Amino acid sequence: MTDFSIQPATPNDCGLILDFIKGIAEYEKLSHLVEATEEKIRTHLFGEKAVAACIIAYNNKEAVGFALYFHNYSTFVSKPGIYLEDLFVLPIHRGKGYGKKLLLHLVQTAYEKNCGRLEWSVLDWNKPAIEFYESLGAKPMQGWTVYRMDEGRIKELAQANLSQNN
């Protein structure tokens, strides 16, 4: 790590961010689910109503990884939090500490913003990631299951709700 830095992403990084998203999707064997485009990234990370943020790790001015996150809120601790959506380091740069530096950067951000939690999900088969997170003191949330409604189901329910209320 001769010349390592972490920088906030800019609108000029949308193509790079998309490449990282495709990289993590490939690693997770979920490439078929990627609907992200540079335009969507620009809108949601840098637009007037941005809902997420991104940091990029550079070594010798070469982008080696990224973390994409957004803020949430915990009613139980009554504080804001950070949800880490994606943390990805290019395969040829793994094992060099870049992922740890990205995560610790977010830890520092959470601390500075007085967040009560920093949370993320990890696929249960991803043993290297699980070992990495646990080595930093992260704990799995036993007894919790992630639920999700996709865009199609959201639309169906919203339309059904509208028709019932009219």
| CA separation for the pair 97, 37 (Å, rounded) | 29
Q: Hey, what amino acid is at 97?
A: G
| CA separation for the pair 91, 146 (Å, rounded) | 27
CATH, residue 27: 3.40.630.30
Residue 90 structural domain: 4-165
> How do the pLDDT tens digits run along the chain, 166 residues long?
469 999 999 999 999 999 999 999 999 999 999 999 999 999 999 999 999 999 999 999 999 999 999 999 999 999 999 999 999 999 999 999 999 999 999 999 999 999 999 999 999 999 999 999 999 999 999 999 888 898 899 999 999 998 888 7
| CA separation for the pair 93, 141 (Å, rounded) | 29
Q: Is 73 a catalytic residue?
A: no
Catalytic residue among 69, 98, 111, 133: 133
Global pTM reads 0.91
**DSSP codes joined into one string, 30-41:** -GGG----HHHH
Q: Which of 112, 115, 111, 104 is nearest to 78 (CA)?
A: 115
Q: Which of 26, 25, 1, 27 is nearest to 128 (CA)?
A: 27
Q: How many domains does the chain have?
A: 1
